[in-house]
C-alpha cells in the first residue's frame, strides 16, 4: 500500500514537471532577417532561433550577431546545450564558434583540461570549417541529412530535405512526445517539400521573398503556397521568418511581411500565421491550441 502511494506520488511529480516544462517551452527569434543585405546592415537581425523545448535549450543557425542578440534579448547563452547549423552559409553559421565558447563560464580545469559541453548537429562542410579548438570543447558532433534521425535526450530529430544552391544541408523536425516543431531552413520548392511536414504542429518557414519575386535558391510566397496546402492536416501554427532584402529592407518598396501573412492566411487552411520579429518570444502552449 505504502509502495503504491509512493509510486503514484512519483508519477504525479513527473506529470507536474512535464507540464511545467511544456508551460515554459518557448521559441525566441534572435533574428528575423536572412541573406547578405541583412547580414551587412542588421536592418533585421541574423542571430538565428533559440528553442527552449523539453528542458533543452537549442540554438539553431547562429548567424552574425547571434551573441549580441542573445544578450540583448536577455537570454542566457550558457544554458545552450544543443547547436544546430543547417548549412554552411554565413547567415547560418558565422557565430557558431562564439556560441560554443559562450556556452560555458569556465573553459578548463586547473590542469588546463578543457571541459566538454554541448552537442553540435550539422553538415560535414560546417565541421570541416570549425576549428579543432572549438570541436574539442564539444561532447558530441553529429552529421544530419534528410534520411537520418538522431535521438537527443527526449528529442527525436529528423532531417528533412532542402534544395539550396550547391550547398549540403537539411531542414529539421524536433519531435517530442507532446508536440513537434519543424524548421524548413533555406530551400527552393521541390516535389514533396510540403509533405515532409505532415503531422507537424508548428512549422517555421524561411520565406525570403514576397509574392512572385522568384529566387533560384529560396522560397517566395506564391511558389510555396501550393506546397503549404499539401500539408494535411495543416500545422496549428506557421511562423514565417528569415526575410530577405526584397521582403523588408531599405531596398524594398515597403515592408511586404504583413501582406504575405494575410495572403497565406487567406489561401491556406492554416489558422495561425505569425511573422517573425527580432526578439519575439513565443510561448509554445499558446501556439498549439
Ligand atoms: Zn539564409
Ligand atoms: Zn542559405
For residue range 3-45, what is the model confidence (pLDDT) as tens digits? 454 545 555 555 556 666 688 999 999 999 999 999 999 999 9
Distance (Å, whole) CA 64 – CA 205: 20
This prediction's pTM: 0.93
Q: How far is the CA of 280 from the centre of ligand 1 (A)?
A: 19
Mean pLDDT across the chain: 94
| Ligand 1 centroid from CA 89, angstroms | 7
Sheet (strand 140-143) strand order: 140-143, 119-122, 80-84, 56-60, 49-53, 26-29, 281-283
The reported pLDDT for the residue numbered 6 is 52
Distance 219 CA to ligand 2 centre (A): 11
Q: Specify the 3-state DSSP secondary structure of 266.
A: helix
158-212 pLDDT tens trace: 999 999 999 999 999 999 999 999 999 999 999 999 999 999 999 999 999 999 9
Cα 164 to ligand 1 centre (Å): 10
CA of 153: how far to CAs of 62, 66, 82, 193, in Å? 22, 25, 11, 28
Between the CA of 265 and the centroid of ligand 1 the distance, in Å, is 24
pLDDT per residue over 40-56, tens digit each? 999 999 999 999 999 99
Q: What angle do CA 116, 117, 122 make, to 5 degrees?
A: 110
HSE-CB of 214 using CA atoms within 13 angstroms? 3
Proximal ligand: closest to the CA of 39: 1
Strands (E), 85-136: 119-122
Nearest partner of 19 among 177, 149, 152, 129, judged by Cα: 177
Distance 91 CA to ligand 2 centre (A): 7
CATH H superfamily, domain 21-288: Ribonuclease Z/Hydroxyacylglutathione hydrolase-like (3.60.15.10)
The residues, any chain, with a CB within 8 Å of residue 256's CB and separated by 6 or more, are 210, 211, 246, 247, 248
* Residues 99-123: tens digit of each pLDDT: 999 999 998 899 988 899 999 999 9
The pLDDT, as a whole number, for residue 229 is 98
Task: Give the Cα separation of 259 and 238 in Å (integer).
Answer: 15
pLDDT tens digits along 70-92: 999 999 999 999 999 999 999 99
Report which secondary-structure segment, H or E, holds 223. Answer: helix 221-228
- pLDDT given for residue 22 in this prediction: 83
C-alpha 48 to ligand 2 mean position (Å)? 12
Closest by Cα among 150, 80, 155, 154 to 122: 150
Give CA–CA dist 171/267, Å, rounded: 24
Average pLDDT, integer, range 133-156:
97
Quote the ligand 1 centre to 236 CA distance (angstroms): 24
Q: Do residues 46 and 91 lie in contact, with contact meaning Cβ atoms separated by under 8 Å? A: yes
pLDDT class for 124, splitting at 50, 70, 90? Answer: very high
Q: What is the pLDDT of residue 23?
A: 87
Instruction: Label residue 126 by pLDDT band (50, 70, 90).
Output: very high
Q: Which ligand is nearest to the CA of 165?
A: 2
Ligand 2 centroid to residue 164 C-alpha, Å: 7
Ligand 1 center to residue 184 CA distance, Å? Answer: 11
- Closest Cα partner for 56 from 93, 24, 104, 10? 24
Ligand showing the shortest atom-to-Cα distance for residue 63: 1
Q: How far is the CA of 243 from the centre of ligand 1 (A)?
A: 9
Q: How far is the CA of 21 from the centre of ligand 1 (A)?
A: 30
Amino acid at each position: 500500500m505504502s509502495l503504491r502511494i509512493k509510486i503514484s506520488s512519483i508519477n504525479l511529480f513527473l506529470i507536474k514537471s512535464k507540464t511545467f516544462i511544456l508551460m515554459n517551452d518557448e521559441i525566441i527569434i534572435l533574428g528575423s532577417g536572412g541573406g547578405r543585405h541583412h547580414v551587412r546592415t542588421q536592418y533585421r537581425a541574423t542571430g538565428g532561433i533559440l528553442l527552449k523545448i523539453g528542458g533543452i535549450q537549442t540554438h539553431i543557425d547562429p548567424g552574425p550577431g547571434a551573441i549580441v542578440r542573445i544578450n540583448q534579448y536577455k537570454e542566457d547563452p550558457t544554458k545552450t546545450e544543443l547547436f544546430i547549423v543547417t548549412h554552411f552559409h554565413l547567415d547560418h553559421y558565422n557565430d557558431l564558434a562564439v556560441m560554443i565558447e559562450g556556452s560555458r563560464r569556465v573553459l578548463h580545469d586547473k590542469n588546463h583540461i578543457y571541459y566538454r559541453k554541448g552537442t553540435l548537429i550539422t553538415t560535414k562542410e560546417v565541421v570541416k570549417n570549425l576549428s579543432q579548438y572549438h570541436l574539442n570543447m564539444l561532447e558530441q558532433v553529429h552529421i544530419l541529412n534528410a534520411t537520418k534521425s538522431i535521438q537527443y535526450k527526449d528529442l527525436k530529430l529528423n532531417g528533412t530535405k532542402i534544395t539550396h544552391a550547391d550547398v549540403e544541408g537539411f531542414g529539421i523536425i524536433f519531435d517530442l512526445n507532446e508536440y513537434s516543431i519543424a524548421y524548413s531552413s533555406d530551400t527552393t520548392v521541390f516535389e514533396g517539400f510540403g509533405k515532409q511536414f505532415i503531422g507537424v504542429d508548428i512549422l517555421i518557414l524561411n520565406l525570403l521573398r514576397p509574392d512572385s519575386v522568384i529566387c533560384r535558391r529560396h522560397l517566395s510566397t506564391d511558389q510555396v503556397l501550393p506546397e503549404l496546402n499539401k500539408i494535411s492536416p495543416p500545422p496549428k501554427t506557421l511562423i514565417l521568418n528569415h526575410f530577405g532584402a526584397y521582403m523588408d529592407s531599405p531596398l524594398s518598396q515597403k515592408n511586404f511581411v504583413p501582406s504575405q501573412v494575410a495572403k497565406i492566411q487567406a489561401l491556406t487552411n492554416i489558422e495561425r500565421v505569425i511573422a517573425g520579429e527580432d526578439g519575439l518570444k513565443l510561448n509554445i502552449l499558446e501556439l498549439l491550441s
